[in-house]
Amino acid sequence: MKAKFFTFFRISLLFMLIIPALAEAQNDEKTETLVLAAQKTFNNFRADPDMGWFRNNVKTAKGVFIVPSLLKAGFIFGGSGGNGVLLAHDENTGQWSYPAFFTMGAGSFGFQAGVEKAEVILMVLTQKGMDSMLSTSFKLGADVTVAAGPVGAGAKFQMVDILAFSRSKGIYGGISLEGAVITPRDARNEAYYGKPCRSVDILIRHSVTNPQADPLRAVVAHTTGK
């Protein structure tokens, strides 16, 4: 009886040690996959001939928030939102930061009819917009102003804190993100960088690095000429 108990105890202890390690490895894989997807999304936007305004003006942005897959409410699990990464531009050095992880959700996204998901890039134009991204949580349209990004090289736009660009099934255009809530994901930051860190540590203090994100940073820097 005692032998069976100790065998069960050893197996339980083994699972207690293994499961957290597996979960951590899974988080690492998810974060790396998200960074790769963000690079692909940014390439999709900058390569499209109709995104002339985006290419010409992204160099003025204080930050870019890339969401490779934004899901419409009711799609798959009924949730509304998606995960993304934010890169900040350092005006002193001219360099782009390593990515910080965020989630965007709980908004009434203005998808076109029949569209279930989209790639989204938020262009942060003002310091107020960047300060909001560094907060614990904020709502688009309430804490900061947001508008759909213009399409076409000569398109006009209204001055807001954040411009939202979207792409779905090869169609580029604007998307309504009024009411969407953006929240930092510190657990994913820790999984990706290997130690506890917050968005401000990554975007402003530059206290952590991960070479896996260098290709993404290079693509953004090449597009902005910085």
Q: What is the pLDDT of residues 115-168, one digit of tens each?
A: 467 889 999 999 999 999 998 878 887 788 888 877 665 556 668 899 988 887
Domain count, the chain: 1
Distance separating alpha carbons of residues 184 and 134, to the nearest angstrom:
8
Asked if the structure places residue 166 within a domain, the reply is: yes
pLDDT above 90 coverage of the chain, percent: 42
Asked if the structure places residue 56 within a domain, the reply is: yes
Asked if the structure places residue 3 within a domain, the reply is: no
Instruction: Name the most confidently modeled range: 2-6, 9-13, 143-147, 157-161.
Output: 143-147
> For the segment 97-117, what is each residue's pLDDT rounded down to a tens digit?
999 999 988 555 554 444 467
Which helix (H) or strand (E) segment holds residue 139: the answer is strand 138-139
**Considering only 139-153, 164-178, 195-209, which range has the smallest mean pLDDT?**
164-178
Transcribe 27-39 into DSSP letters. HHHHHHHHHHHHH
Distance separating alpha carbons of residues 153 and 203, to the nearest angstrom:
29
Asked if the structure places residue 12 within a domain, the reply is: no
pLDDT at 208: 98
In the chain, what's the furthest Cα-to-Cα distance?
Answer: 80
Asked if the structure places residue 18 within a domain, the reply is: no
Asked if the structure places residue 20 within a domain, the reply is: no
pLDDT above 70 coverage of the chain, percent: 71
> For the segment 65-95, what is each residue's pLDDT rounded down to a tens digit?
999 988 765 444 444 678 999 999 998 888 9
Asked if the structure places residue 11 within a domain, the reply is: no
Q: Which domain holds residue 187?
A: 34-224
Question: Both tokens of residue 46?
Answer: 């900058």
Please tell me which residue, 172 or 216, carries the higher pLDDT value: 216
Asked if the structure places residue 25 within a domain, the reply is: no
Beta bridge partners of 105: 81, 181
